[in-house]
A and B are shown apart, each in its own frame.
Chain A
Amino acid sequence: GQQLNQSPQSMFIQEGEDVSMNCTSSSIFNTWLWYKQDPGEGPVLLIALYKAGELTSNGRLTAQFGITRKDSFLNISASIPSDVGIYFCAGRASGGGADGLTFGKGTHLIIQP
């Protein structure tokens, strides 16, 4: 099956800094999704990407679907305290799980005041 590598595993940054995280896969994906999960809550969809090369923004967040269809990145500009949480990438390809998704292991974002 597909494997999804998400990095970094954790990030410790100062408020106001920009953040970048990425996911790479061993096979081609047709869809990339980025979610954020706050402690004790379910993941919330941030950005959905459906075409190779697609670049989509949602406020201070920007995500891109890699040209090779094997990677995606998420950038957060000018981080603020409420950006703290776990960010998951998820990819969908033929032969995926029943929910069609393969999840990354998450990037824990910690912001130091």
Chain B
Amino acid sequence: GAVVSQHPSWVICKSGTSVKIECRSLDFQATTMFWYRQFPKQSLMLMATSNEGSKATYEQGVEKDKFLINHASLTLSTLTVTSAHPEDSSFYICSARGTGGLYNSPLHFGNGTRLTVT
């Protein structure tokens, strides 16, 4: 149980275009999902908290107009990188709390999306 699916696994786009990444909880409902960014050989950096039915909460230094988050249902959150630039190239990972969404439930992660902006 507690499977999180992320799509696409990798994407290459041209500078100035927008890219949408999907995060789905496959066998449970997730009122809260999280989006991370990871640079090579670095730990995960929390970007934002995606809340079903309400606005996302962004970490300090993360541009909300740059990284649009939509959590339209209990099983789907999307991250859209708008007007992408080469410096946005990174590994993006989503996560969701396990069944019940209890605060002390472990987080389960998607497989990540490798974004390359040319």
Q: Which residues of A contact B (CB under 8 A)?
A: 30-31, 33, 35, 40-45, 48, 50, 86, 88, 90, 92, 97-101, 103-106, 108
Contact = CB atoms under 8 A, between A and B. Distances in A.
Nearest to B104: A31
Contacts of B91: 40
Contacts of B95: 42, 99
B77 to A, nearest CB: 13
Contacts of B111: 41-42
Interface residues of B, number: 25
B43 A105 contact: yes
Interface in B23-81: 34, 41-44, 46, 49, 57, 59
Contacts of B108: 45
B104 A50 contact: yes
Contact of B106 (A33, A86, A97, A103): A33
A30 B43 contact: no
Q: Taking each of A86, A98, A103, which has the highest tally of chain B beta carbons within 10 Å of its own beta carbon?
A: A98
A2 to B, nearest CB: 13
Contact of A97 (B41, B46, B109, B112): B46
A44 B109 contact: yes
B104 A41 contact: no
Contact of B44 (A30, A31, A45, A88): A88
